[in-house]
Structure 1
Amino acid sequence: MELQKNGHSRDEGFDGVEVIPELEECLPHKPGAKKEVHFTDFEGKTSFGMSIFNLSNAIMGSGILGLAFAMANTGIVLFLILLVCIALLSAYSIHLMLRSAGVVGIRAYEQLGQRAFGHPGKLLAACVITVHNIGAMSSYLFIVKSELPLVIQSFLSKTESTGEWFLNGNYLIIIVSALVILPLAVMRRLGYLGYTSGFSLTCMVFFLISVIYKKFNIPCPLSVKPANTTPPMSNLSVHSETNVTCEAKLLTMNSETAYTIPILAFAFVCHPEVLPIYTELRNATKKRMQAVANISILAMFVMYLLTAIFGYLTFYTGVEEELLHTYAKVDPLNVLTLSVRLSVLVAVTLTVPVVLFPIRRALLQIFFPDKPFHWARHIIIAVCLVVFADLLVILVPSIKDIFGVIGATSAPSLIFILPAIFYIRIVPQDQEPLKSRPKIQAACFAALGFVFMVMSLSFIIIGWATGKSRARGH
Structure 2
Amino acid sequence: MHHTSHTGPEVFNERTEPVFDAGREPSPDQVPSIGRRNSFAESQFSMGRSIQRVRSTRNIGSMLQDFAEEEPTPVEIRRRKRPGLAQRVLEYIFPPGSMLSSAFTLGSSTLGGGILGLPFAFNMTGYILSIILLVVVSILTVFSLWLLAHCSDNARKRTYEDTMKVLMGRGPDWLVSIFMCGFCIGGGVGYIISIGNLLTPVFENEGVPHFLTTKPGNRLITSMVWLVLILPLCLPKQIDSLRHTSLLGCLCILFFVICIVIDASRYTYKDGFRKDLEMFGHGNTAIEGLGMVMFACLVQINAFEVYFEMSHPTPRRMMRDSAIAMGACGLLYVLAGFFGYMRFGKTVTASILLLYQPGESVLFAIAYVGIVFKICVAFALHQLPMRDGIYHLLGWDVYLMPWWQNAVFCTFLSFVLLLAGLFVPNINIVFGLVGSLCGGFIGYIFPSLMYMYSGNFSLKRKGYCLYFATYFLLVVGCIATVFGTGASIYGVAA
- Corresponding residue of 1:12: none
- Corresponding residue of 1:374: 402
Which amino acid in the other structure matches residue 390 of structure 2? L
- Mapping for residues 373-392 of structure 1, pairs under 5 Å: 373-392=401-420
Contact in 1 for aligned 2:183/2:434 (Cα 8 Å): yes
- Corresponding residue of 1:425: 453
Give the secondary structure class of the aligned counterpart of 2:356. Answer: helix
Which amino acid in the other structure matches residue 64 of structure 1? I
Give the secondary structure class of the aligned counterpart of 2:237. Answer: coil
Give the secondary structure class of the aligned counterpart of 2:311. Answer: coil
Q: Deviations over 1:29-87 (max 9, x none)?
A: xxx9xxxxxxxxxxx94322122111101111312123233334444432222221111
User: 1:136 aligned to 164, 171, 187, which one?
Assistant: 187
Give the secondary structure class of the aligned counterpart of 1:321. Answer: coil
- Corresponding residue of 1:92: 143
Q: Which runs of 5+ in 2 are unaligned?
A: 1-52, 54-94
Give the secondary structure class of the aligned counterpart of 2:157. Answer: coil
Q: Does 1:124 align with 2:175?
A: yes
- Corresponding residue of 1:41: none
Give the secondary structure class of the aligned counterpart of 2:236. Answer: coil
Q: Does 1:454 align with 2:468?
A: no
Contact in 1 for aligned 2:202/2:359 (Cα 8 Å): no
Q: Deviations over 1:413-445 (max 9, x none)?
A: 011110011111113358976997634432332
**Take 1:446 and 1:77, find their aligned partners in 2: how far apart are those partners?**
25
Deviates more, 1:128-137 or 1:74-83: 74-83
Contact in 1 for aligned 2:433/2:488 (Cα 8 Å): yes
Task: Flag the structure with higher helix content.
Answer: 2
User: 1:347 aligned to 363, 374, 393, which one?
Assistant: 374
**Take 1:262 and 1:404, find their aligned partners in 2: how far apart are those partners?**
5
User: 1:257 aligned to 267, 277, 286, which one?
Assistant: 286
Contact in 1 for aligned 2:184/2:383 (Cα 8 Å): yes
**Take 1:368 and 1:326, find their aligned partners in 2: how far apart are those partners?**
46
Which amino acid in the other structure matches residue 441 of structure 1? A
Deviates more, 1:290-299 or 1:309-318: 309-318
Q: Does 1:71 align with 2:118?
A: no
Which amino acid in the other structure matches residue 376 of structure 1? W
- Corresponding residue of 2:85: none
Give the secondary structure class of the aligned counterpart of 1:119. Answer: coil
Q: Does 1:197 align with 2:246?
A: yes
CA apart distance, 1:376: 2.5
- Corresponding residue of 2:322: 293
% same residue: 21
- Corresponding residue of 1:10: none
**Take 2:159 and 2:290, find their aligned partners in 1: how far apart are those partners?**
28
**Take 2:454 and 2:192, find their aligned partners in 1: how far apart are those partners?**
37
User: 2:473 aligned to 433, 445, 453, which one?
Assistant: 445
Contact in 2 for aligned 1:53/1:201 (Cα 8 Å): yes
Deviates more, 1:125-134 or 1:305-314: 305-314
Contact in 2 for aligned 1:153/1:167 (Cα 8 Å): no
CA distance 1:404–1:251, change in 2 (3 Å)? closer
Q: Deviations over 1:379-428 (max 9, x none)?
A: 12111111111121234455864664333210100111100111111133
Which amino acid in the other structure matches residue 245 of structure 2? T
CA distance 1:418–1:326, change in 2 (3 Å)? same
Question: Could you say which structure has the larger radius of gyration?
Answer: 2
Instruction: Give the alignment's TM-score, normalised by structure 1.
Output: 0.76
**Take 2:327 and 2:431, find their aligned partners in 1: how far apart are those partners?**
27
Which amino acid in the other structure matches residue 202 of structure 2? V
- Corresponding residue of 2:27: none
**Take 2:437 and 2:120, find their aligned partners in 1: how far apart are those partners?**
23
Structure of greater relative contact order (alpha carbons < 8 Å, 6+ residues apart) = 1
Q: Does 1:109 align with 2:160?
A: yes
Pairwise CA RMSD of aligned residues? Answer: 3.1
CA distance 1:427–1:317, change in 2 (3 Å)? same
CA distance 1:220–1:162, change in 2 (3 Å)? farther
